[in-house]
A = this chain, B = another copy of it.
Amino acid sequence: VAEPLRKTTEIEVRYAETDQMGIVHHSVYVVWFEVARAALSRETGHSYAEIEGLGYYLVVTGARIRYLRGARYGECVAVTAWLDRVGSRGLTFAYEVRRGAETLATGTTEHVWVDKSTRQPCRLPRELCDRFRRIGGLAD
């Protein structure tokens, strides 16, 4: 079995992302996950913006985050995303946020595909689904 594609995005901490503890607010990691998820999804050959244009929303149904160390302003973090599960109706992404060799946070997000016009859960067209299977390391 092939390994899922791991895509790393470098993100510079924004001042606005810090809180009065002097570290990045914990809600921001969910936004960083989304940035990394979009970069990984682009590896299908379609950006997430294009997929929405085709009529599909990738709705978030669950999220888990484990916070190990706080990121700070002035730092650049590396957010790696990969597919943990690829189904015809949804996906699970996994993430790791690192600062150099240190892991700052890990997490997963669960998603279902929703038809933009009906707002109901749906299956992706086979061809598009296969592209996600491929970056997920699954045979066609």
Q: Tell me if A's interface is mostly helix, strand, loop or mixed.
A: mixed
Interface size of A by CB at 8 A reads: 39
- Give Cα A46–Cα B66 distance, bound, in whole angstroms: 27
Confirm or deny: A130 has a beta carbon within 8 angstroms of a beta carbon on chain B. no
Confirm or deny: A5 has a beta carbon within 8 angstroms of a beta carbon on chain B. no
Q: Check B34–A14 contact: CB distance below 8 A.
A: yes
**In A16-31, which residues have CB < 8 Å from any B CB?**
16, 18-23, 25-28, 30-31
- Give Cα A38–Cα B25 distance, bound, in whole angstroms: 15
- Give Cα A5–Cα B31 distance, bound, in whole angstroms: 31
Q: Which of A53-61, A80-88, A93-101 contacts B (4 or more CB under 8 A)?
A: A53-61
Among B18, B22, B64, contact of A63 (Cβ-Cβ < 8 Å): B64
Q: Check B15–A38 contact: CB distance below 8 A.
A: yes
Contacts of A61 in B (CB 8 A): 66-68
- If A26-B63, A61-B66 touch, whether A34 touches B21 (CB-CB below 8 Å) is no
Confirm or deny: A122 has a beta carbon within 8 angstroms of a beta carbon on chain B. no
- Give Cα A28–Cα B72 distance, bound, in whole angstroms: 20
- If A18-B19, A25-B16, A30-B27 touch, whether A74 touches B50 (CB-CB below 8 Å) is yes
Question: What is the 8 Å Cβ interface bit string for chain A, positions 39-81, against chain B (1 contact, 0 not)?
Answer: 0000000011110100001011111111110101110000000
Confirm or deny: A35 has a beta carbon within 8 angstroms of a beta carbon on chain B. yes
